[in-house]
Amino acid sequence: MMAENNRKWVNKEIAAINLQREKIKRQIKHLTRAEEDFYSEQQHERELAEDLSRIIKGRYGQRLSEEHSLLYKERTSKVQSNLRQTFTQLQQEQRKLADREEWLLNQLKSSETNKDEK
């Protein structure tokens, strides 16, 4: 009876872990899509700045292009850093879930082994 309760509890916990895994997968997918959108937007913005600097020409256009380049690098660096940090956090969550699942399965095996010995 106790082993059956343990099995039910472990199965319930593993189901919760699987839901968390799916949530993390969706978050990673969303982050990947957001990253792609960001780079696409940045590329478009860079092209517009280059067009504008060509239209303006001369010293002011070059300065405008340089300022945009600096802003682009700064913003890209911040976004990349945030994305890396978020991906790292999600990977850590995945590892914790895997560890928890392994622990739960070991608990179940242990309880079944103890049941068999009795």
Which residues span the domain enclosing 40?
2-113
In one-letter notation, the amino acid at residue 53 is S
The tens place of each residue's pLDDT in the chain, 118 residues long, gives: 667 888 888 889 999 999 999 999 999 999 989 889 988 888 888 888 777 777 777 666 667 667 777 887 888 888 888 888 998 999 999 999 999 999 988 888 887 776 666 5
Rounded CA gap, 59 and 99, in Å? 60
Please tell me the predicted confidence (pLDDT) of residue 18: 93
- What does DSSP assign to residue 87? H
Number of Cα atoms under 13 Å in the Cβ half of residue 9: 13
Please tell me the predicted confidence (pLDDT) of residue 115: 64
Does the residue 6 lie in any domain? yes
- How many independent structural domains does the chain possess? 1
Does the residue 43 lie in any domain? yes
Q: 14 and 111 in contact (C-beta within 8 Å)?
A: no
Does the residue 52 lie in any domain? yes
Does the residue 118 lie in any domain? no
Does the residue 106 lie in any domain? yes
Please tell me the predicted confidence (pLDDT) of residue 68: 73
